[in-house]
């Protein structure tokens, strides 16, 4: 079991790195979208390539971060039954869902999507839109993204079995950390307090003079 837990930690590390890297594509998509809008309005010029690269980036964010979201337990849950069960009962539901649904579906999509990518790569398939992009990079995202999701499913399965055996803490509990918004609000508050203290010290010094 310890070897499996090491494998689980390695998969967690991989999806954490991929997720944190791919998050920068959100900024890239926003900048490209803004630049496209400015060029279209100011110079009356546009290209399907600008639109398609935004779709490609969105696909990359959605697919490559699926394993990252599962690892951080941030995926959407519709709780009808499990909320009434014990913690062990909820873990068993997760195990059944991983084994019967997530892993088979992810592996099936990897198996079915790989030939689509390979055929597009071999033929140099291009977008049907005028000025569009080559298709194989976005098709490659399908097997890669679902492979990462399947790997994370294996990692989550290992962690849940380890929890049932009393080897680790509950893997479904989200880490209690501050959100980026909370960190920003705290920094703004601290800066305001520093400026207030600095202003108060300046006033007191002027009064003594």
CB 144 within 8 A of CB 136: no
Reduce the DSSP state of residue 85 to 3 states and report it: coil
88 pLDDT band, cuts 50/70/90, is: confident
**Cα–Cα–Cα angle for 178, 182, 188, nearest 5°?**
135
| Nearest CA among 62, 64, 75 for reference residue 144 | 64
CB 135 within 8 A of CB 126: yes
pLDDT score at 90: 81
pLDDT score at 156: 92
pLDDT score at 180: 57
pLDDT score at 174: 63
pLDDT score at 103: 94
- Across residues 86-96, what is the average pLDDT? 85
Q: What is the pLDDT of residues 171-187, one digit of tens each?
A: 777 655 555 556 666 77
- Across residues 51-59, what is the average pLDDT? 89
Terminal alpha carbon distance of the chain: 73
102 pLDDT band, cuts 50/70/90, is: very high
Q: What is the pLDDT of residues 134-147, one digit of tens each?
A: 889 999 999 999 99
pLDDT score at 209: 53
- Given a cut of 90, is residue 45 above it in pLDDT? no
Percentage with pLDDT > 90 across the chain? 36
User: What tokens were used for 88?
Assistant: 């062990």
């Amino acid at each position: 079991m310890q070897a499996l837990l090491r494998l689980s930690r390695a998969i967690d590390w991989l999806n954490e790195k991929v997720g944190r890297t791919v998050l920068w594509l959100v900024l890239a998509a926003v900048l490209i979208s803004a630049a496209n809008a400015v060029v279209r309005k100011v110079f009356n010029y546009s290209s399907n390539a600008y639109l398609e690269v935004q779709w490609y980036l969105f696909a990359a964010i959605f697919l490559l971060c699926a394993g990252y979201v599962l690892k951080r337990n941030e995926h959407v849950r519709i709780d009808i039954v499990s909320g009434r069960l014990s913690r062990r009962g909820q873990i068993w539901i997760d195990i059944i869902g991983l084994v019967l649904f997530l892993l088979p579906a992810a592996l099936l999509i990897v198996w079915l999507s790989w030939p689509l990518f390979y055929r597009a790569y071999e033929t140099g398939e291009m977008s049907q839109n005028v000025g569009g992009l080559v298709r194989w990079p976005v098709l490659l995202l399908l097997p890669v993204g679902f492979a990462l999701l399947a790997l994370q499913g294996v990692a989550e399965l290992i962690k849940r079995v380890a929890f049932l055996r009393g080897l680790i803490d509950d893997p479904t509990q989200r880490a209690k950390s501050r959100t980026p918004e909370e960190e920003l609000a705290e920094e703004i508050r601290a800066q305001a307090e520093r400026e207030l203290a600095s202003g108060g010290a300046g006033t007191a010094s002027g009064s003594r003079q």
